[in-house]
Amino acid sequence: KRGNPHIVIATPSRLKTILETGIARLDYVDFIIVDEADLMLRMGLGSDFQYIMSALPAKRQTLMFSATWPQSVQTMADQFLKDYVRVNVGKTRSNQSLTVNKNIEQTIKVCKECDKEKILLDIMNEFVPTISGFIKTIIFVRHKKTADRLVRSLAQDSFPARAFHSNKHQRERDYVIREFRRGNISIIVATDVASRGLDFKDVKLVINYDFPSNLEDYTHRIGRTGRHKEKGRAVTLFTSKNIIHKTSLIELLTEADQNVDPILLNLTPDSDPESGSTTTEDSGYESSGEYESNSDSESNNWSDDEIIRKTNDNDKKVK
């Protein structure tokens, strides 16, 4: 319904579309609040976020919120902020402004790439089953195909999991999130599209099957557990392929009062000759982004039974 709202809550892409159609203007906006500001700023020049900020009046108050605020993002923020005051909640790491919830017990398992799936199953068998069922668990991977493959592998070991990534129809993704909240789904295998914007109060375990591309995404991922003053656990598989993050990760663990495995301290690039390049940037990676629940024309009218059937069919198709 059109009108003259005093408050608008929007994603950048949708708001830009509305502005381009002339339905709305931002000439009289007094306050702009940016959540997940580090992600918005990383979109860079020419992005939807940049378009929106340029449409705002010069005289306004700008508030930016983020769990991570590295120096590179601070520099980008300077073009939108004037005489600003910065408020830090909790301890920050020197100039990186990166801190982790101490209610999260972090474990780093150094391993070879070829052993990761076996170690994942060991972790699942150790922590996930309970007398009443399975604890809520999110497994993060870098690739959509990896998510689908792990769902099938976990099913073979009697762990019913669902994949969550951008190749899934919107109604499928909404269904998975809804049933995960209700407790009807206990295990999600997701790319970084689930690392932000989703608040589950009872996730007990986060597993980083693949290490993310940066420490900021690591912080957001494990932040899916240990929320609302609850205790949580995060287990991360770390190979020599990820060694470029070793020093920063050790600093993060130390400042969060976590134990640092001596194997991690002694890890070198040639510890696993089969791992290939020591960079974590590779093709097919689905980057982090806040989850959006938008309409999907193809799947918008699916019933829950149809979603379950189509999800199962999709999982079987991927070999």
Q: What is the pLDDT of residues 4-58, one digit of tens each?
A: 888 999 988 889 999 999 888 899 999 999 998 888 887 765 688 889 999 999 9
Does pTM top 0.85 for this prediction?
no
What single-letter amino acid sits at 23?
A: I
Residue 23: what pLDDT?
86
Residue 146: what pLDDT?
95
Sign of torsion over alpha carbons 31, 36, 38, 41 = negative
Residue 71: what pLDDT?
77
Domain residue limits, the chain: 12-77, 104-310
Residue 77: what pLDDT?
86
The answer to whether 161 touches 134, Cβ cutoff 8 Å, is no
Q: What are phi and psi of 17, to 5 degrees?
A: -60, -45
Residue 117: what pLDDT?
96
Q: How far apart are CA 284 and CA 145, in angstroms?
A: 9
Low-confidence ranges of the chain (pLDDT < 70): 1-2, 44-46, 90-98, 271-319
Statement: 104-310 belongs to CATH 3.30.70.980: no
